[in-house]
Amino acid sequence: MIYPKIPLAQTVIQLCKAKNIKHIVISPGSRNAPLTIGFTADKFFKCYSIVDERSAAFFALGLAQQLKHPVAVLCTSGSALLNYYPAISEAFYSDIPLVVLSADRPKHLIEIGDGQTINQKYVFQNHILYSANLKLDLKDEKNIPLTEDLPIMKNLEDKLERFLGFQKDIQTHNEIEINTSINTAIIEKGPVHINIPFDEPLYETVDKESIETKSTDVVLKEKPVDSYALQECYEYWNSATKKMILVGVNQPNQIEQKWLDDIAKDDSVIIFTETTSNLHDDSFLPSIDQIIAPLTEKEQIDLQPEILLTFGGMIVSKKIKSFLRKYQPKHHWHIDKKKAYDTFFCLSMHVEASPNQFFESLLPKITHYVKSDYKETWLAVKDRRLERHNLYLKKIPFCDFIVFDLILKSIPNHSILQVGNSSAIRYTQLFNLNKTLEVYCNRGTSGIDGSTSTAIGFSVVSKKRTVFITGDLSFLYDSNGLWNNYIPNNFRIIVINNQGGGIFRILPGQKNTKNFDTFFETKHDLNAKYMSKMYSFEYLSAKTGQQLKNRLENFYSESYRPKLLEIFTPRIINDEVLLKYFDALV
């Protein structure tokens, strides 16, 4: 087996291995060659070569999203590193562990006009859990270099002794920083950055490692729920007749079923679940906008909760945000180990615990349920809305709304559903999903920039079929996500092509003007046919409801290549149908 000659490269590789970081996403470069050589030569690691750093980072994010363990991304120096930023910010707000490894020039070559150099230290400081800046190894050549850390000495023996002392200090510093970074990613669930300077020569190898590192243990401590906060929650919970639980982005199987069953028995509690919450029960209220949008002022006042309990990540529904900001609860508690956002401007308590911890501490204390018709009232509303929803589907022409209805009903049981941002996730929210599906979406920053790459990364390490639904602009924006050799044959992409950014037609604005078409909607005539051919996808298309039904019949069947289904919908009609939908629900 071969190893990079540079001790610093050996140190990084050894500690990644000790922390069980197996998946390394590498973008080509020269300055990162010592690490690339070491990672790819060791069979412990699964290495992926992805040229576009922005796509590579989202691909790694998708891997980590599925694995629930840190994945490393490795790039060369210079602007390559900056292309990681969109995925790093997504990982930061979505609590996904990423270890960013950036090769760098030695300090004396930075800010002197040398090629492919930028100031890489703390470059992600606003969206990173930890930034480590490693120190360059001192050279072990006979003619030992004099650096700013190694003053001139007349005696060679003194010089050697000082050299060894400096190198030992450097090695200790680097091991501490690498251990701290990776442990932070594991414990706190988020991105960390390790900046690694290498001096030339970069490609030299040895057949035996020259150093042995020490890995510090990852200590996961689970704090008990604060007893004072718990007592306060219990007192208010026990007396309130109108309690609302709102669940945002939530990984599948995170909440024990017995606690969901207990909550479902309480008539004073309603539970709004987003598509991304991955929680299901007949007594829960999915399709939030469907229920909230047509409410009269009196109904909104009746729905106003005394207690709002939230957990999970970001909320998609703008309508529930608007409602709860206007009709604020007396108490808003957010349950999360790390953070609590004051989304509705009325946050009164951050309970630093997991939802399971909180429910396990609170619910057994509830010996009786307060009398209330709160849940019954809103379950009746839910039934009426669903009836009107189904009637509306029978009246409208072929459009985005019809397409989402047909697609979501077609996805096979126990599939992974990855959804693109913007219109795609908002349409998906309007439908009751198959309970066996696991749903994911990049809602940390809600950007369209890496949804395809994330979905593909997820599919590579998933044992289940992954289906990705996206809009045309999002798909075209991240088309480099298809530029890799790892896409499984059972991966499926569905592109809804409405010739532009359809969501802007839903928002208030001067539609059907040159300014709007060009700079907001960004109208286009592009399609995915030739791109599918270039990346060896089987391509299908549909322009009518019947064509779509026909294409979906065999779309999910086994194949020797991944498949892409492109659905063309009428650009002008889509927004009118959606806007009238909420009126039809009354």
What residues are paired with 245 via a beta bridge?
271, 309
Tell me which of 150 and 560 has the higher pLDDT. Answer: 560
As a whole number, mean pLDDT of residues 559-568 equals 96
Helical H segments across 495-570, by residue range: 503-506, 514-519, 529-534, 545-555
b/e 499-531 (16+ beta carbons within 10 angstroms → b): bbbbbbbbeeeeeeeeebbeebbeeeeebbeeb
pLDDT exceeds cutoff 60 at 402: yes
What are the structure tokens assigned to 151, written together? 């003053």
Q: How far is CA 301 from CA 306, 375, 382, in A?
A: 11, 15, 17
**CB atoms near residue 579 (< 10 Å):** 11
What are the structure tokens assigned to 40, written together? 């790819």
> Tokens 């480590």 — which residue?
132
> Tokens 């980072």 — which residue?
57
Please determine whether the domains at 3-201 and 396-580 fall in the same fold group of CATH.
yes
What is the maximum span of the chain, computed from C-alpha positions, in angstroms? 93
pLDDT exceeds cutoff 90 at 153: no
pLDDT-based confidence at 108, cuts 50/70/90? Answer: confident
pLDDT of residue 574: 86
pLDDT of residue 334: 97
Tens of pLDDT, residues 507-541: 655 566 667 666 666 777 889 999 999 999 999 99
DSSP annotation of 565: E
How large is the C-alpha radius of gyration of the chain?
Answer: 27
Instruction: Give residues with Cβ within 8 angstroms of 472, minimum separation 6.
Output: 495, 496, 497, 498, 499, 500, 524, 526
As a whole number, mean pLDDT of residues 566-572 equals 90
pLDDT exceeds cutoff 50 at 146: no
- Look up the CATH superfamily of 3-201: Thiamin diphosphate (ThDP)-binding fold, Pyr/PP domains (3.40.50.970)
As a whole-number percent, the residues of the chain with pLDDT over 70 amount to 92
State the Cα–Cα distance between residues 78 and 80, nearest whole angstrom: 5
> Which CATH architecture is the domain 396-580 placed in?
3-Layer(aba) Sandwich (3.40)
pLDDT of residue 356: 94
Tens of pLDDT, residues 455-492: 999 999 999 999 999 999 999 999 999 999 999 999 99
Tell me the DSSP string of 93-118: HHT--EEEEEEE--GGGTTSS-TT--
Q: Which helix (H) or strand (E) holds 347?
A: strand 347-351
Tens of pLDDT, residues 225-274: 888 999 999 999 999 999 999 999 999 988 998 998 899 889 999 999 99
pLDDT-based confidence at 109, cuts 50/70/90? Answer: confident
Tens of pLDDT, residues 27-83: 999 999 999 999 999 999 999 999 999 999 999 999 999 999 999 999 999 999 999
> Tokens 């200790």 — which residue?
172
As a whole-number percent, the residues of the chain with pLDDT over 90 amount to 79
Are 265 and 331 contacting, i.e. CB atoms less than 8 angstroms apart?
Answer: no
Q: How far is CA 37 from CA 3, 30, 40, 212, in A?
A: 7, 11, 6, 18
Q: How far is CA 184 from CA 192, 311, 338, in A?
A: 7, 22, 13
As a whole number, mean pLDDT of residues 95-112 equals 92
pLDDT of residue 112: 82
- Domain 227-380 maps to which CATH number in 3.40.50.620, 3.40.50.1220, 3.20.20.70, 3.30.360.10? 3.40.50.1220
pLDDT of residue 341: 95
pLDDT exceeds cutoff 50 at 141: no
b/e 274-313 (16+ beta carbons within 10 angstroms → b): bbbbbbeeebbbbbbbbbbbbbeeeeeeebbbbbbbbbbb
As a whole number, mean pLDDT of residues 482-504 equals 87
Residues in the chain: 586
Are 291 and 285 contacting, i.e. CB atoms less than 8 angstroms apart?
Answer: yes
pTM: 0.92
pLDDT of residue 117: 84
Tell me the DSSP string of 39-54: HHH-TTSEEEE-S-HH
pLDDT of residue 33: 96
**CB atoms near residue 20 (< 10 Å):** 12
pLDDT of residue 517: 65
Domain ranges of the chain: 3-201, 227-380, 396-580
CA atoms within 13 A on the CB side of 470: 32
Highest mean pLDDT among 33-42, 137-146, 152-161: 33-42
pLDDT of residue 162: 53
Q: Which helix (H) or strand (E) holds 21?
A: none
Are 25 and 35 contacting, i.e. CB atoms less than 8 angstroms apart?
Answer: no
Instruction: Give residues with Cβ within 8 angstroms of 319, minimum separation 6.
Output: 288, 289, 292, 293
Instruction: Give residues with Cβ within 8 angstroms of 11, minimum separation 6.
Output: 171, 174, 175, 178, 211, 213
**Three-state secondary structure of 207-271:** CCCCCCCCCCCCCCCCCCCCHHHHHHHHHHHHHCCCEEEEECCCCCCCCCHHHHHHHHCCCCEEE
Q: How far is CA 509 from CA 318, 409, 517, in A?
A: 18, 33, 11
What are residue 232's phi and psi, to 5 degrees? -65, -45
